[in-house]
Amino acid sequence: MTNHYSLPISFDLEAYLKQKQDLINTNLKRIFDTVKRRSAGSLDAAMAYSIMAGGKRVRPILCLAAAETVADGDITATAMATACALEMIHTYSLIHDDLPAMDNDDIRRGKPTCHVKFNEATAILAGDALLTLAFDVLSDRVTASDKKKTAPSMENQLKIIHMIASAAGWRGMIEGQVQDMESEGKKLDIDALKALHLLKTGALIQAAVMAGVILGGGNHRQMEMMSAYAHNIGLAFQVTDDILNVEGDPVVMGKAAGTDFSRSKNTYPALLGMTDSKDYANELIEKALAALSGFNYRADPLRAIAHYIITRER
């Protein structure tokens, strides 16, 4: 792979991701400790089990990184509720995707999936509750991260709720999941596969980045650049997922490899071959980085994340 773009050489992504993950985990833990204190049964346990199962927190980190790129000053406290809500929606979608009626996966992030650990009914309801809690947190006028008045403006709050609900629903993630399900065993062409993934994974990644831009007070031109960035990393993320599903180390990934093939799922490697799939992922990341060329060093985390997306091992 030839690098036509300049990567931020001096930027320590590992430390950045770790710091953000810790911050997000602390805030999620605070929210779920409250759920636990006020709830009794298995619902809170199942919700907390799945959300604290060691996800990479890609969507909340993208939201925070986008907010920090465009904001004057520290925006983390204001953006944290949105970041946490994005992770709740992502986690709910994984719980439901793993169900026996859907992908029927037993292992996720190296641990038993929610319906295996608890039971199917509890997993369905824990997913429902995480999705609902996301909107609870998003509409709160006091942010989840602290009790100071750091909530976004009401206008921004409503914009973000609307954008996330749209991206997560029938116009976005859920429609993508349905199309994915219904295309198993049928052969899609590359455009159809791209369209499917722009819905299934792309929409929520796009919403995460754009929510960050809104929270950071980004202008119209910044919105457009970030939108192009998000579009390309969203696709690259899925292409890499497909590559990892074939080549990945199950131990590192925390789930079985080769499952797409055995389910005759439409994937980039199956459609383009492995070499072209990797080239395509690289090309997408180059486009994502080109979209950021109007930003200064403050976009370095986003640049490093773009690179990370295709070099990660899980």
The interface region with a second copy, picked from 7-15, 91-99, 201-209, 214-222 by CB under 8 A, is 91-99
Contact 198, 218 (CB under 8 A): no
- Regarding 170 and contact with a second copy (CB under 8 A), the answer is yes
Q: How far is the CB of 101 from a second copy (least distance, A)?
A: 4
Q: Which is nearer to a second copy, 103 or 241 (CB)?
A: 103
DSSP 3-state percent helix, strand, coil across the chain (nearest 5): 70, 0, 30
By CB under 8 A, name the one of 27, 50, 82, 157 that touches a second copy: 157
Contact 248, 314 (CB under 8 A): yes
How buried is residue 301: exposed, middle or buried, by Cβ count under 10 Å (0-12/13-18/19+)? buried
- Regarding 195 and contact with a second copy (CB under 8 A), the answer is no
Tokens of 114: 């929610």
By CB under 8 A, name the one of 136, 224, 276, 283 that touches a second copy: 136
- Regarding 119 and contact with a second copy (CB under 8 A), the answer is yes
- Regarding 155 and contact with a second copy (CB under 8 A), the answer is yes
Comparing CA positions, the residue from 47, 31, 97, 72 lying closest to residue 298 is 72
Q: How far is the CB of 140 from a second copy (least distance, A)?
A: 6
Q: How far is the CB of 89 from a second copy (least distance, A)?
A: 9
Q: How far is the CB of 59 from a second copy (least distance, A)?
A: 16
Contact 196, 266 (CB under 8 A): yes
By CB under 8 A, name the one of 158, 190, 252, 256 that touches a second copy: 158
By CB under 8 A, name the one of 25, 69, 82, 122 that touches a second copy: 122
Comparing CA positions, the residue from 223, 179, 182, 186 lying closest to residue 201 is 179
Taken in order 89, 249, 64, 279, is the CA torsion positive or negative?
negative
Q: Which is nearer to a second copy, 212 or 248 (CB)?
A: 212
Binding mask 5-24 for a second copy (x = CB under 8 A): --------------------
User: How far apart are the two ends of the chain, measured CA to CA in Å?
Assistant: 20
Q: Report the DSSP beta bridge partners of residue 103.
A: none
Contact 302, 292 (CB under 8 A): yes
The interface region with a second copy, picked from 67-75, 173-181, 207-215, 261-269 by CB under 8 A, is 173-181
Q: How far is the CB of 184 from a second copy (least distance, A)?
A: 11
Q: How far is the CB of 263 from a second copy (least distance, A)?
A: 13
- How big is the chain by its Cα radius of gyration, in Å? 19
- Regarding 33 and contact with a second copy (CB under 8 A), the answer is no
